[in-house]
Amino acid sequence: MKVLKNILLSVGGNDLQPADIYFSRVIKEVRYRSGKLNWDDIAEKEKKRRITGKIPKATYPKTAEVIDGKWSLAIPGAIDAHVHFNTPGFEDREDFDHASFAAAVGGVTTVIDMPCTSIPPVTNVKNLKKKLTALKNRSYIDFAFWGGVRSEDIRSGIDVEKQIADLSAAGVVGFKVYVISGMPEFSDLTYDEILKTAAMIKATGKPMAVHAEDKTLITNKRKQLQNNGDNSWRAYCEARSVRAEAKAVAELMKTAEATGARIHIVHLSSQAGLKKIKLAQKNGFSVTAETCPHYLCFTQDDFHNAAIRNYLKTAPPVKFEKDKNALWKGLADGTISFVTTDHAGCNPRKEKISENFWEVYGGIPGVEHRVSFLFSEGFKKGKLSLEQTVRLLSINAAELYGLSSKGKISPGYDADFALINLWKEKTVKSRNMHSKGKFTPFENVIFSAVVEKTFLRGKQVVKDVFGGKFVKAKD
Ligand SMILES: [Zn+2]
């Protein structure tokens, strides 16, 4: 038996409650030590010290291993529901060994890895098994998987419906498809194919996650700009416009309406897309969305900064001030279910150096920074309550994707926690990152929240040696 003593738990709104957690591999008991505190009363370091100093000491069983939380905030181990850790396949860019370590350092205890950045891609159970074999003893944290559907699967005449059903039974959380894909190994679907695929996925009860940017609009614009020799960041952003995202989201809302399937929009970047999702939700369709720290922090103005320009490239690209503000509101009002990183690394010295922006690798390795980011920029700056922040980092994803042992500090759940120091600052430095490729557009940004310790199934990650395991989603 272990005890994590002297911690604060989020108990609704901006309230916290002093507590001790008793656990082994799972949580046994949460013992509250005294009444609720409000964040405003302890936001200053000195006030916190004074108030927590008066809490009567507790006694613990002699046989227990007692770990002192020093009155930091304990949150359920964070879940990053959208990452590209690339094992097996694209490991020159990123691999599970590095990325899962980076995740653990950043307070993340479970990731959900995308099917497309693997060779072979996770499109059937055979490939899923290959992935599981490749991951043996290579993850510091737990991992779940997305399955995926590509156009070549549909066009080759194989039984896609069976592949979907089998993958669901094997425990994937859902299925990823692309309206536009830059990956030759993972081709995009037409809207028609998406409609058919959604109907098949519906039978599993699991969501279809969609990269939503309209292919026709983007391709036409890109060709026109490239023909004019325009290789600037502006051209890239002009092609991958707000309009392109809004058009694809609108089509997908029709798919949700026509099929009743659960549709999840990944890495939402615009207010226009958000409005369409909000309307579909109001009309009772099963539609959810996520966004990422870069869309909440940066705008296209930041491409003027040559020091981070290439590091900031993603698909879709970051948008404008009003989009950024709308996304924060979407998180606060529940239209957007959680924040993921879309973690995608590369060797920056090889793939982030081109003067031709079309050729720059698109992707940000953010898994290490998300928890600090959301507490610092969301909670501490008053955009989200403490309760919302915690939900957006773990519980909501666990609930939406059926990871039933994850996401709560409650008896019976896995003993996964992260300890957050909300009274400390840290400057982001790429050289301190733990992912394989060390670069970030957040370079030199100061986060006013720091992840101190991470526990996975009862053991302190990084400190104790152990392996992460495959977490199956409920079938
Ligand atoms: Zn992605």
387 Ramachandran zone, left/alpha/beta (phi>0; psi -120 to 50): alpha
- Across the chain, mean pLDDT equals 96
pLDDT given at position 54: 95
Out of 32-41, 94-103, 323-332, 458-467, pick the least confident.
458-467
Cα 342 to middle of ligand 1, angstroms = 5
pLDDT given at position 467: 56
Local confidence band at 475 (pLDDT 50, 70, 90 cut-offs): confident
Cα 117 to middle of ligand 1, angstroms = 9
User: Do residues 231 and 357 lie in contact, with contact meaning Cβ atoms separated by under 8 Å?
Assistant: yes
Cα 301 to middle of ligand 1, angstroms = 23
Going by their DSSP bridges, the two strands 446-447 and 108-113 should be labelled as unpaired
Q: Which CATH number fits domain 2-75+416-460: 2.30.40.10, 3.10.20.30, 3.90.1640.30, 3.30.70.660?
A: 2.30.40.10
User: Do residues 167 and 147 lie in contact, with contact meaning Cβ atoms separated by under 8 Å?
Assistant: yes
Cα 113 to middle of ligand 1, angstroms = 9
- Name which of 146, 74, 63 is nearest 109 in CA terms: 74
pLDDT given at position 464: 52
Residue 457, beta-bridge partner list = none
Q: Is the pLDDT of residue 196 over 60?
A: yes
Cα 96 to middle of ligand 1, angstroms = 16
Cα 114 to middle of ligand 1, angstroms = 7
Cα 294 to middle of ligand 1, angstroms = 13
Cα 116 to middle of ligand 1, angstroms = 8
Q: Is the dihedral of CA 378, 392, 191, 155 positive or negative?
A: positive
Say which residue, 106 or 183, is predicted with more confidence.
106
Cα 83 to middle of ligand 1, angstroms = 6
Residue 132: in which H helix or E strand, if any? Answer: helix 125-134
Tell me: the pLDDT tens digits for 160-176? Answer: 999 999 999 999 999 99
3 state DSSP class of 287: strand
Cα 63 to middle of ligand 1, angstroms = 46
Cα 32 to middle of ligand 1, angstroms = 40
Cα 344 to middle of ligand 1, angstroms = 7
**How far is it, in rounded angstroms, from Cα 122 to Cα 341?**
20
**How far is it, in rounded angstroms, from Cα 244 to Cα 241?**
5
Going by their DSSP bridges, the two strands 426-427 and 147-148 should be labelled as unpaired
3 state DSSP class of 474: coil
Cα 70 to middle of ligand 1, angstroms = 37
Which residues are within 8 A (CB) of 396 and not within 5 positions of it... i.e. 6 or more apart?
A: 337, 338, 407
Cα 59 to middle of ligand 1, angstroms = 47
Residue 142, beta-bridge partner list = 110
Assigned token pair, 448: 């006013």
What is the domain partition of the chain in residue ranges?
2-75+416-460, 77-400
pLDDT given at position 468: 64
With 0-12 / 13-18 / 19 or more C-beta atoms within 10 angstroms meaning exposed / middle / buried, residue 466 is middle
Cα 182 to middle of ligand 1, angstroms = 11
Q: Is the pLDDT of residue 438 over 60?
A: yes
Cα 58 to middle of ligand 1, angstroms = 46
Q: Is the pLDDT of residue 393 over 80?
A: yes
Cα 462 to middle of ligand 1, angstroms = 26
Cα 410 to middle of ligand 1, angstroms = 31
Cα 471 to middle of ligand 1, angstroms = 20
Q: Look-up: residue for tokens 């009772």?
A: 284
- Name which of 168, 126, 166, 119 is nearest 146 in CA terms: 168
Local confidence band at 473 (pLDDT 50, 70, 90 cut-offs): confident
Strands (E), 157-282: 175-178, 208-211, 263-265
Q: Which fold has domain 77-400?
A: TIM Barrel (3.20.20)
Cα 10 to middle of ligand 1, angstroms = 30
Cα 17 to middle of ligand 1, angstroms = 36
Cα 286 to middle of ligand 1, angstroms = 21
State the pTM of this model.
Answer: 0.96
How far, rounded to the nearest angstrom, does the alpha carbon of residue 360 sit from its chain's CA centroid?
Answer: 23
Cα 197 to middle of ligand 1, angstroms = 19
Calculate mean pLDDT across residues 53-57: 94
**How far is it, in rounded angstroms, from Cα 361 to Cα 345?**
9
pLDDT given at position 205: 98
User: Do residues 316 and 240 lie in contact, with contact meaning Cβ atoms separated by under 8 Å?
Assistant: yes
Cα 303 to middle of ligand 1, angstroms = 21
Which residues are within 8 A (CB) of 186 and not within 5 positions of it... i.e. 6 or more apart?
A: 115, 116, 117, 121, 148, 150, 178
Cα 341 to middle of ligand 1, angstroms = 8
Cα 82 to middle of ligand 1, angstroms = 6
Give residue 97's identity as a one-letter amino acid code.
Answer: D
User: Do residues 403 and 17 lie in contact, with contact meaning Cβ atoms separated by under 8 Å?
Assistant: no
